[in-house]
Structures are given as structure tokens and as C-alpha cells.
Amino acid sequence: MTGLSSVVREVHVAVAVVIRDGRVLIARRPDHVHQGGLLEFPGGKVEPGETVQQALIREIAEETGLSVSESSLEPVIGIRHDYGDKRVFLDVWRTQDAAGVAEGREGQPVEWVLPDELRDEDFPAANRPIIRALRLPAVLPITGAIGNVTDGVSALRASLARSSAGLVVLRAPALAPVEYLRLSRHSLPECSEAGVGLIVHGGPAMYRETPGAAGLHLPGREAAALSARPISHGAWLGVSCHDAGQIAHATALGADYVTLGPVKPTATHPEAKAIGWDEFRRLAAAARVPVYALGGLGPDDVTRARDEGGQGVAGIRFWWPEL
């Protein structure tokens, strides 16, 4: 069907994620407007002649009475979405520094909620990646070389003690599947002790055999073999990507995040050609999922990765001991 939407110009929408004490400000859209009755983050159309930052400051003030400075605004994610009757580009930014008492200035109820309480079905469909981006950490550590289960578990314990990760990808390609399962089962208690979610690296069967895991990270070849999301929406699904085609496939699978790289040359994968920040920015801008920059990066690169349109950084060397 050739819809009207294909000829309708895309609307540039400034969307504000206002965070205070770990809670996010949400409002309910009036019933009579586009996507009415659903919850939303404050925001609205970028007016002609306005920058997105000016639009954010204006919309936040108009809708909530809060005032924010331009310097407190940080990019979160950009999402292109076609509602059929309207095409939008949601330009999503966050601020942790809003002054004043929030009130629904346009009569709409507003509320501060924890990111983990945000439910996809309460928001317009385009918001799904925003909710993912808010719940995912800025740094995603991946385990390094693991030669056997015992050494792997002790290295994990030591690395968890040194870092404050929210999620960890348990990668151990050198282990046979049965050994990997022993590793993942012994790693789960270490992770729960540290308050960290364990993401299994491998195929759907590996995830199913690890009850209690927080999610599944698919290597490129595993993702290529799938045509539908292999796990429930309650768990994280990540995919390793190196190009636009792989990101498109991961998005079609319903991935919650992807990793993209190597951005810089990296000692753990010397054979892989670095894509550089320009290519990362180009691919992240076109993606509709949070994208972690990977390859030769560490926590010091989070700001750069975010400025380039990424969710943050994923990697091995910054937290894993040299074995």
C-alpha cells in the first residue's frame, strides 16, 4: 500500500527525558491529540528557526514549569518512526538538572517514575527504544579470554569487585558448549551477589539452559540464523553488529540493543578493521535501537560515544584482567 505517509514530511520532535533522584518525568497526552491518551516524555515539534536544544527548553517550561539550562542537555537517541498517519523524528535528550516543581501546565497529569517501571504498552510505539536506552547502562562489560571454568569464575569475581556494572556479557568462545554452561551456571551467583545481570553469549539454547540469566547476546552468525526474536520481551536481547545490514536484521529480530565496532583497532580482535567514529555516527544515527560503541574503548569514551549518537561503550580490556 502506498500510504499518505510516504509523501508527508517528517516532523522533528524534541523529546525531553528529565531525571531527578533516579526518576523520570512523564505526562499523559490529552485524548484528542495524535497518540492521545498514552504516556509521553515532555516535548513537541521543533519550530522553524529553533535548535533542538531551544525547543527542549521551551517545551519543558511550557508543559511542566521546570527550567533547564542548555549545558545540562545530553543526547540520548534519535528515532525515525512512521505511524502511517504521521512520520516523526524523535530527537531525545536528557537533563539531570531541572529547577522547579513539576506540574502539568497544560492540564495533563505528570509523574516521576523509575526507569524500570516504564512499560512499552503505555507509550506511543516509537518510544520503545527510548525506554530501552533509559534502562540500559552506559557501560557494558564483556568478559575476556576464559580458558577454563575455574579461572573464568575467579576472573569474573575479581572484575565484578572492581567495576560497578549493571549488566555483564559472559563471552567465552574458547569453551565447548557444555563447559560454557558450567561457566554460566557458576557465574550466575557471582553476578547476583554483585547485583549485576548476566547476559549469556551464544545461541537461544544456551540462554534457555541458563535459568536466571538477564538476557541473551547473539554473535553475528547466531543472529543471521534467526528470523524472529528468540526470547521473551522480559529479558535483554543484544546483537553484535559490524554494518548497516546487520543492524537492520537485529532491529527486525526485536533486539533491545546492538554493539557496533570495532570503532578503534583493538588488541582482542586484531584481524577486524576499525570503522572509526564517523562511520559509527552514521550507522548509529540510522539505527532505531540503542547502539554501544565497541573496540579499543573504555569508560573514558562514554561521553564521546554518546555525543556520536551511541548508548555508551561495550568492551573487554578496561575491566578484564590479563590472564
| Contact call for residue 127 and ligand 8DG (CB under 6 A) | yes
Q: Which is nearer to ligand 8DG, 30 or 189 (CB)?
A: 30
Options 18, 24, 25, 40; binder of ligand 8DG; rule CB under 6 A: 40
Options 18, 24, 25, 41; binder of ligand 8DG; rule CB under 6 A: 41
| Contact call for residue 126 and ligand 8DG (CB under 6 A) | yes
| Contact call for residue 124 and ligand 8DG (CB under 6 A) | yes
Options 3, 45, 151, 321; binder of ligand 8DG; rule CB under 6 A: 45
Which 89-118 positions form the footprint of ligand 8DG (CB under 6 A)? Answer: 90
Q: Which stretch binds ligand 8DG (CB under 6 A): 33-41, 114-122, 143-151, 166-174?
A: 33-41
CB distance 267 to 260 below 8 Å: no
Q: Which residue is at the shortest CB distance from ligand 8DG?
A: 44
Measured from the Cβ of residue 270, the count of other Cβ atoms closer than 10 Å reads: 8
Options 8, 22, 33, 100; binder of ligand 8DG; rule CB under 6 A: 33
Q: Which is nearer to ligand 8DG, 41 or 319 (CB)?
A: 41
| Contact call for residue 5 and ligand 8DG (CB under 6 A) | no
CB of 102: closest distance to ligand 8DG in angstroms? 15
| Contact call for residue 208 and ligand 8DG (CB under 6 A) | no
Contacts with ligand 8DG by CB under 6 A lie at 13, 15, 33-35, 40-41, 43-45, 86, 88, 90, 124, 126-127
